[in-house]
Amino acid sequence: MQPTRRTHPAGRHPERLLPSEPQRRRIARELYEQVADLPIVSPHGHVPAALLAENRPFENPTELFITPDHYVTRLLHAHGVPLAELGVGAEPLSEEQARRSWRILCEHWARFAGTPMKYWLEDVLVGVFEVDELPDASNANALFDHLGERLRDPAYLPRALVESFNIETLATTDDPLSTLEHHAALRDDPAFATDVIPTLRIEAAIDPGHPSWHRNVTALLAGAGGDDDVESYLAAIAERRRVFARHGAVSIDCALEDARTAVLPRARLAELYLRARRGEATPQETATFRAGMVSELARQSHDDGLVITLHVGSLRDYDAGLHRQYGPDRGCDIPLTTRFAEGLRPLLNEFGHDPAFHLVLFTLDETSWAREIAPLAGFYPSVYAGAPWWFLDEPEAILRYRSAVTGSIGFGKQSGFIDDTRALCSIPARHDMARRLDSAFLSKLVSEHRLSIDEAGSIIRQLSYELPRATFRLGHFGH
């Protein structure tokens, strides 16, 4: 093996991410080859359905790769590039601005060494756009032109890309009030084979501390036609769940700062609801209501079978100035220590044994993987250990995750890979990365005679395809 020299982006090497030790590499390669071409199942992510329904060409490389991707803008910002200089929030960008932003990224390319952003971008540039040199200041302009040209080619329209990526199921994440018209349109198109399904993003409808809660509740009640009381409110949520399920949804997503749950008597929930609606709830009451509503979501899953994904432990919009200027979700989430064990106990004692219920736990505090999430998934039939997410969705952390949870729960209670991305073009690169890393992890177990190669072959197929389907009950819902 000769180490790669700089003219080749990492995306080029066929054995990238596989371990260097020759025996392990051979085993890993044997495993990887079994799954490299399996269809992609993406049961949780953030590609907008409108992008596919409208199917308009991407404007330019900047609006494809930079401004919407806070993984990228965050690190440029950390190196002193103001977001305004990149054009964040100012889309659509002028050609001049787009070109300038692209150049900034190219100039900072070396700053991304060691990050998955660089790995994914290079994989996309090589694999999708046929670029074969590393971006830098000298080739920024030429690359911008080359990529722009491709983006005007019909083969690079959003739907064409999705089809070329071999994506079988693609879940979006949607506002509780969404009309889901784009999903309906995509489903009605017989020429488009990918199953694009919505996900009900729920916290803005259950957390009175959320800035949109009041507006959302009012709209939900208006839609469902009930009184302003907790029964109508719960019924309105159940109705939205049914609508989402009719459009193909298999899950509800809930992103909260902590994992507290409570099972409240209906009278207590009703009282807190009214206090919250009147704006009289104390912070403690707001938290109690939210904790109670997480359990109500689980209760409703008994009837409609929707999976609940919990994304817990991020101080969102940490920087007040950034939030004021650009709004939410611009890359300044900062993780917190998270306590799943105490938090989930009420919910799990009540609903954890329900065979109709699946709860997938995602954390930004990796210490909870071995300490709490695996022990919970290793006892409750309903609980699944969600794949590494956000800051933890990178090679080193993915391998730490496998090391942390497998001893407790084997592979069958792990969620399989979840890309959770809004960067459409990166989807195949992310799934491919996961398949390579899982092959690498399994090659260790095989080479140390902890698993046979046949056992590992079965597991790599499960992790790549079967487990995400089983965790999200895709079979159950007929997808």
Using CB under 8 A as the binding rule, the residues of this chain from 26 to 45 that contact a copy of itself are: 27
Q: Which is nearer to a copy of itself, 267 or 320 (CB)?
A: 320
Residue 102, SS3 per DSSP = helix
Cα 117 to Cα 115: distance, rounded to the nearest angstrom: 5
Number of residues located near a copy of itself, criterion CB under 8 A: 101
Closest to a copy of itself by CB, 422 vs 444, is 444
Residue 69 or 174 with smaller CB distance to a copy of itself:
69
One character per residue 441-460, x = contact with a copy of itself (rule: CB under 8 A): ---xxxxxxxxxxxx--xx-
Least distance (Å) between residue 254 CB and a copy of itself? 21
Q: How far is the CB of 19 from a copy of itself (least distance, A)?
A: 7
DSSP 42: E
Cis peptide before 92 (omega within 30 of 0): yes
Using an 8 Å Cβ cutoff, are 156 and 433 in contact? no
Among residues 248 and 313, whose Cβ is nearest to a copy of itself? 313
Among 410, 409, 430, 411, CA closest to 421: 430
Identify residues 142-181 at the interface with a copy of itself (CB under 8 A): none
Other CB atoms within 10 A of residue 124 CB: 23
Interior/surface letters 51-63, b for 16+ CB within 10 angstroms, e for the rest: bbbebeebbbbbb
Instruction: Pick one of 65, 102, 112, 233: the residue that binds a copy of itself (CB under 8 A).
Output: 112
Q: Which stretch binds a copy of itself (CB under 8 A): 197-205, 208-216, 303-311, 367-375?
A: 367-375
Task: Tell me how far the alpha carbon of residue 397 is from its chain's centroid.
Answer: 16
| Residue in 475, 474, 478, 476 with CA at minimum distance from that of residue 44 | 474
Q: How many residues does the chain have?
A: 479
Using CB under 8 A, which residues numbered 391 to 430 contact a copy of itself?
Answer: 391-392, 394-397, 400, 403-404, 406-413
Binding mask 303-332 for a copy of itself (x = CB under 8 A): ------------x--xxxx---------xx
| Beta carbon of residue 454, minimum distance to a copy of itself (angstroms, whole number) | 4
- Among residue numbers 6 through 25, which ones bind a copy of itself (CB under 8 A)? 6, 8, 10, 13, 15-21, 23-24
Among residues 148 and 346, whose Cβ is nearest to a copy of itself?
Answer: 346
Task: Kindly compute the dihedral angle of the four CA atoms of residues 37, 419, 391, 262, in this order, to the nearest 10 degrees.
Answer: -140
Measured between alpha carbons, how far is 97 from 86 in angstroms, rounded to an integer? 8
Interface residues for a copy of itself in 204-233 (CB under 8 A)?
Answer: none
Nearest approach, Cβ of residue 28 and a copy of itself (Å): 10
If binding is defined by CB under 8 A, does position 135 make contact with a copy of itself?
no
The residue among 97 and 382 lying less far from a copy of itself, judged by its C-beta, is 382
Q: What are phi and psi of 477, to 5 degrees?
A: -90, 0
Q: Is 335 in the site for a copy of itself (CB under 8 A)?
A: yes
Cα–Cα–Cα angle for 424, 241, 377, nearest 5°?
75
- With beta carbons less than 8 A apart as the criterion, state whether 75 and 115 touch: yes
Q: Is 115 in the site for a copy of itself (CB under 8 A)?
A: yes
Minimum Å gap between C-beta 376 and a copy of itself is 6
State the binding string over 67-96 for a copy of itself (x if CB under 8 A, else -).
-------xx-xxxx----------------
Taking 3-state DSSP, the helix, strand and coil percentages for the chain, each rounded to the nearest 5, stand at: 55, 10, 35
Cα–Cα distances in Å, from 437 out to 31, 396, 409?
Answer: 11, 9, 19
